[in-house]
Amino acid sequence: MPNLFQPTALVGAIAIAMGFSVSASAQDSINASLDTLVVTATRSEEKVKDVPARISVIDEKTIEQSPITDLPTLLTKEAGLTVKQVGGYGQTASVYLRGTNASHTLFLQDGMRSNIATVAGTNIPLFDLSDVKQIEILKGPASVQYGTDAIGGVIQLISKIPTENSIFTTVEAGERSTYKTILGVDVAEDGFYAQLRGQRFETDGDQIIANDDRKAGFDQKGYSAKVGVEKEAYGLSAEVKENKGTGDYFSFGAPKAYDFLNRLYNVQGHLNFSDSLTWNTRLSQFEDQYEVVKGSYPSIVNTEQQEIDSNLKWQFTQHQNILVGVEYNKTEAEKVAAYVGDEGFKSDNETIGYYIQHQFKNDLFSTQAGVRVEDNQQFGTHTVGQLAARYFATPKTSFYTNVGTAFRAPVVGQIISEPSWWGGNPDLKPEESISYELGFDHSLNYGIQLYGSVYQTKVDNLMVSDASTGFKFYNLKKATFTGSELGLKWKQDSLFANAEYAYVQPKNDDTDEDAPNRPRQNFTLSAGWDNGVYGFTTSLVAKGPSKDVQEIPGYATIDMNAYWQINPHVKVFSNIHNLGDTTYKAAWNNEVSSYYLASGRLATAGVTFRY
């Protein structure tokens, strides 16, 4: 990799961060303002303050502050979830939303599910964010809206729609030969728009195993393109995005490498028959390819999903609407026999979900009630429901409650019987859950906002895999996840501060022990100054200890972020991740009897030119 980073760049990065910086959290950050519009909770636009659930947003300003920051790092700033990433860029990452399993979080890209089907979970370190406008994090069950996987919640990446003509380029570079370049073009005229993005990212990477000082590099490149039209009576858009590259990792102490590719095709449209009746439809395809290209045993695993979703929304009174829809999904999973003596598999599954949702909204109440019936080719019919309400006690105070059931069907790779060493079990049962939640939001004087939630999720037939069964999947009886969240946001002129504390007890009811890799206590804090031209922030992320084969110690890291909008055409910025270069343990590695390490300090500086 080219050595693009020079010592002067590090000096400049630190100088900017110590002088004038913008928050990578704060008012325009992970916890959105109460008037921010979100779509994930109800499948249509709602203000955050009206949603009878806990939802937070990572906004466009935060994402653009550091183009090299990957999705796992951004999500770490959220106290209500835990990210376990075994190393730096490109290394495997798992997201535990409110303590639930990594497979209990559904990832969407513009409505299209992006979880993989060869194993449970997703390849989120391999998603690129160059065209993403905001990331919505919905906490709590959402199977009524989205079907399988949404037990702990939903994380959705929503792409940008151009609103003006512009062309821009962004370059960010820093330590460990790390750099990213982005080139973008936006066109918007009389309701028609087009968007094009191209990006390239490289890094020499981090040391990822405590007793091995070798680093794991990561390279990627990709593009996205979108065209569309948005009129008063109708809208139509088509997009394609692709990201591919290669990464290093270690297995049993031996260096290995993988190639990857993920690709999304998405066509969406809506037709307003009248002011009160709207038809929405979406046709999507998501492909995920992962190939081990360096190692004694090459491996190729692929996931391909096609999805059609169509619904009607009827605003039948001033305060009430009803949404009725149907969703079809076909998922194909494949492991290719990559060498002599290797065994592969190829299988698929189809589901059809029928859903109905009612909403009521006036000055005192905002309610949401829904039912979904899902026919699964492998596992039959499942019915889930949700009932939620928010009560506005005063213009500054509201309370909400949310009760919902959800489910997760085994993915294709969990139920295949051959090859036996893969761990599939055709007798697996779907997981089923019920969740209860209470919360409040309250605005005080002097720009202070308080919020809090308490919740409990009970999961039956929890799917696990461990050494006791030769790593073959099986169902546990039950697990219970109980927790609470308390947050504060303050904004006064150009000054701001945010703090959030989250507690979760992730219990395996069969053993009465905590589930692994989920600290009970999480805390985030950020504070700074921002006047829209330049500013300053410092943020803290602290996690308590968690269980694994060996205990994972707690840790705390500090980040600093900076920008200066010199004029409408030029912006310079700087970021320091893990300012103290804290070496903290992310997980236990049984293969070499050592710990995986999280990424160390990374100081970068960058510039954006826009016309």
Q: Domains in the chain, start-ordered, CATH in brackets?
A: 7-610 (2.40.170.20)
Identify any residues that bridge with 585 across adjacent strands, giving them in sequence order: 597
Distant-in-sequence, close-in-space partners of 129: CB < 8 Å, separation ≥ 6: 63, 67, 69, 70, 71, 74, 135, 157
- Residue 62, H or E segment: helix 60-65
- pLDDT confidence bin for 33, thresholds 50/70/90: low
The pLDDT, as a whole number, for residue 31 is 39
CA 608/CA 12 separation, integer angstroms: 16
The pLDDT, as a whole number, for residue 20 is 40
pLDDT tens digits along 328-369: 999 998 888 877 777 888 889 999 999 999 999 999 999 999
Q: Kindly tell me the sign of the dihedral angle through the C-alpha atoms of 153, 159, 164, 169.
A: positive
CA 19 distance to own-chain centroid: 31
DSSP string, 82-145: EEEESSSTTS-EEEEETT--GGGEEEEETTEE---SSSSS--GGG---TTEEEEEEEES--HHH
Q: What's the rounded mean pLDDT across residues 468-492?
A: 90
Range with the poorest average pLDDT among 104-108, 194-198, 582-586: 582-586
The pLDDT, as a whole number, for residue 561 is 96
Q: What's the rounded mean pLDDT across residues 312-320?
A: 97
CA 10/CA 181 separation, integer angstroms: 18
C-alpha dihedral over 508, 509, 510, 511, to 10 degrees? 60
The pLDDT, as a whole number, for residue 25 is 41
- pLDDT confidence bin for 412, thresholds 50/70/90: confident
**pLDDT of 18 above 50:** no
pLDDT tens digits along 528-560: 999 999 989 999 999 999 998 889 999 999 999
Q: What's the rounded mean pLDDT across residues 507-532?
A: 93
Range with the poorest average pLDDT among 3-12, 126-135, 416-425: 3-12
- pLDDT confidence bin for 133, thresholds 50/70/90: very high
Q: What's the rounded mean pLDDT across residues 6-16?
A: 41
pTM > 0.85: yes
Q: What's the rounded mean pLDDT across residues 568-577?
A: 97
Q: With pLDDT > 90 as the criterion, what percentage of the chain qualifies?
A: 76
* Of 264, 267, 347, residue with least CA distance to 302: 347
**pLDDT of 405 above 80:** yes
68, 90, 303, 333 from 291: Cα distances, Å: 24, 14, 12, 14
